[in-house]
Homo-oligomer: A and B are copies of this chain.
Amino acid sequence: MVDRQQLESRVRIDLTAVVVAVDAGQPYVLTVDTDDAPGIALPSGPLVPGHRTLQAGLRAWVEAQTKCRLEYIEQLYTFGDRTSSPMEAGEEIDHRAVSIAYLALVSMPTDQLEMQAHWLSWYALFPWEDRREGPSPLINDLHDRLLAPASQTVTRNKRVWRQRVDHIFGTGLLPWDEERALERYEMLYAAGLVEETHRDHDQPPPSASAAAAGVSLAADHRRILATGISRLRAKIKYRPVLFELMPPEFTLSQLQKTAEALSGIPLHKQNFRRLVEQQNLVEETGGVATDTGGRPAKLMRFREDVQLERPSPGLRVSANRRARARAS
């Protein structure tokens, strides 16, 4: 066996955070300003000896850079940095650094949003992911460009490529799957339809494409965010993580708005309500919210002991077909 000590390479660990909050029915991600090109990045920093755990290191960096204190944290993925082509066959390692990405959820007091304008709406970065008002017309544009010969990457067969595009973007007759946010971003990257592709290859961006492709972030941070979005969209269906984003008291409508904000699709109101009640996830506080504009809504709170009771409590959200069709 090889002598491990001599060969091993010591690398820097970068900790990167996708910090998510929802306010007024919009999903936000916490960002910081940078000096380099794109100007915006996710909070991140290297692991230093003072950090007792990886999560503690992450917390420290986020707090130092944004004053934001994290509660719920889960690990997302570890990237061998210096990504040249995401997804395909694993990325190249920059032997100087490996970055570990985390997803954090915070319940945002409204004032914090305005205080430091570092919260960026998800859908400024991924315009095609917001389908609450139906599929955005933008999707047709992207679809056309993906089918243009220049975009076709690995797959030779044109029919197979089209099928792959339709599958991932829910075009053709295939349904939209909101959980495929990461795959969609990676496909756009591979096809050269986002700014990062050209930046990573030291090419000038083709002037035309910028329009529909959304705001880009430093390094591979937009990809990391896409990973977080996909994970979160999947997770709300089987774990009660939604409540990490809610204030202590809320109405069922607010809860639904939050679920819709994250998943990017409209939900059927009555069924959403049935689901929440059946699962016994919430209880009435007794109070009512009168500022709804219509009949006052009962205020609810999360039942803390749910964690122990049910095998996997969550909201199996599924698109409201009528609303989906209405706007398309």
Contacts and interface: CB of A to CB of B under 8 A. Distances in A.
Interface of A: 1-2, 4, 7-13, 45-57, 64-65, 75, 77-78, 80, 89-93, 95, 98, 100, 160, 163-164, 167, 174-175, 177, 179, 308-309, 311-312
B8 A12 contact: yes
Given A11-B11, A167-B308, 7 more contacts: A7-B48, A11-B47, A75-B78, A78-B78, A164-B308, A167-B311, A177-B312
**Copies of this chain, count:** 2
Given A49-B7, A49-B95, A54 B80 contact: yes
B98 A308 contact: no
B9 A49 contact: yes
A10 B12 contact: yes
A227 to B, nearest CB: 11
Contact of A55 (B49, B52, B75, B90): B90
Nearest to A65: B1
B51 A93 contact: yes
A55 B98 CA distance: 13
Interface residues of chain A: helix, strand, loop or mixed (majority): mixed
Contacts of A45: 2, 4
A46 B8 contact: yes
B64 A311 contact: no
A93 B9 contact: no
Contacts of A77: 75
Nearest to A163: B308
Contacts of A308: 160, 163-164, 167
B7 A10 contact: no
A65 B179 CA distance: 37
A6 to B, nearest CB: 9
Contacts of A50: 7
Contacts of A12: 8-10
Nearest to A177: B311
Contacts of A10: 10-12
A10 B53 CA distance: 15
A92 B198 CA distance: 40
Contacts of A160: 308
Contacts of A49: 7, 9, 95
B80 A53 contact: yes
Nearest to A46: B8
A311 B298 CA distance: 37
Contacts of A177: 311-312
A305 to B, nearest CB: 8
A15 B51 CA distance: 22
